[in-house]
Amino acid sequence: MTGKVAEEALGYEQARDELIEVVRRLEAGGTTLEESLALWERGEELARVCRRWLDGARARLDAALAEEEEAEETGAE
């Protein structure tokens, strides 16, 4: 799996853990410029995956809170 298909298959925790490893490897140094660029690009992909998961979680939370408020308003009338 590569590209978007691989990104979509990753869960949040998997993407986060791999991103942590990418950052650790970049900070440790000792890689060629080409390897560093590949790591950076993978890190960007993983960050996008994490952001999508977090945005989705935020949207679900906002929807649940809105439903709860609506139920409270309807029940109070």
Parent domain of 28: 10-76
Please report whether residue 1 resides in a domain: no
Distance of alpha carbon 47 from alpha carbon 42, whole angstroms: 9
Distance of alpha carbon 34 from alpha carbon 76, whole angstroms: 63
The total of structural domains in the chain comes to 1
Q: Is the pTM of this model over 0.85?
A: no
Please report whether residue 41 resides in a domain: yes
CATH number at residue 49: 1.10.287
pLDDT tens, residue order, the chain (77 aa): 455 546 668 899 999 999 999 999 999 999 999 999 999 999 999 999 999 999 999 999 999 999 988 888 887 65
Please report whether residue 19 resides in a domain: yes
Answer yes or no: are the C-beta atoms of 9 and 52 closer than 8 Å: no
Please report whether residue 4 resides in a domain: no
Please report whether residue 54 resides in a domain: yes
